[in-house]
């Protein structure tokens, strides 16, 4: 909180201020995992492994899986 935001002056700052790792870490952990779960459902669910039974997820994203480069079937 004590840190002040770098004020943009007439000459643009050469190197942008670093964001502290402590501020990034919680977001990276929670959202990183959430995003990876999303990617799993687009890319691999009901292909090599299944969380849900059936083939609905696989069939629904079938074309996207092929065109995004994931092994489909």
Partner 1 sequence: MNSATVRNLLVRGMLAGLAAGVLALVVAYFLGEPAVDKAIGFEEAHSHEHEMEVVSRSLQSTAGLATGVLVYGVAFGGIAALAFCFALGRVGRFSPRATALLLSGCALVAVYVVPFLKYPANPPSVGSPDTIGKRTTLYFLMMLLSVLLAVAATLLGKRLAPRLGTWWATVGAVAAFVVVVALAYRFLPVVNEVPKDFPATLLWRFRLSALAVQSVLWGGFGLVFGELAERLLNPKPAEAASGRAVPAAH
Residues that bind partner 1 (CB under 8 A): 1, 3, 5, 8, 10, 12-21, 23-24, 26-28, 31-32, 34-36, 38-39, 41-44, 47-49, 55-56, 59-73
What is the per-residue DSSP string for the chain? Answer: --PPPPPP-SSPPSSPPPPPHHHHHHHHHHHHHHHHHHHHHHHTBTTTB-SSSSSHHHHHTHHHHHHTT----
Closer to partner 1 by Cβ: residue 51 or 64: 64
Shortest distance, position 37 Cβ to partner 1, whole Å: 8
Closer to partner 1 by Cβ: residue 52 or 60: 60
Shortest distance, position 55 Cβ to partner 1, whole Å: 6
Q: For 42, phi and psi rounded to 5 degrees?
A: -70, -40
């Amino acid at each position: 909180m004590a840190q002040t935001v770098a004020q943009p002056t007439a000459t643009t700052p050469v190197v942008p201020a670093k964001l502290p790792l402590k501020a990034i870490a919680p977001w990276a952990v929670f959202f990183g995992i959430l995003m990876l779960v999303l990617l799993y459902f687009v890319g691999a669910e009901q292909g090599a492994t299944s969380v849900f039974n059936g083939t609905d997820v696989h069939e629904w994203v079938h074309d996207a899986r092929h065109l995004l480069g994931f092994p489909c079937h």
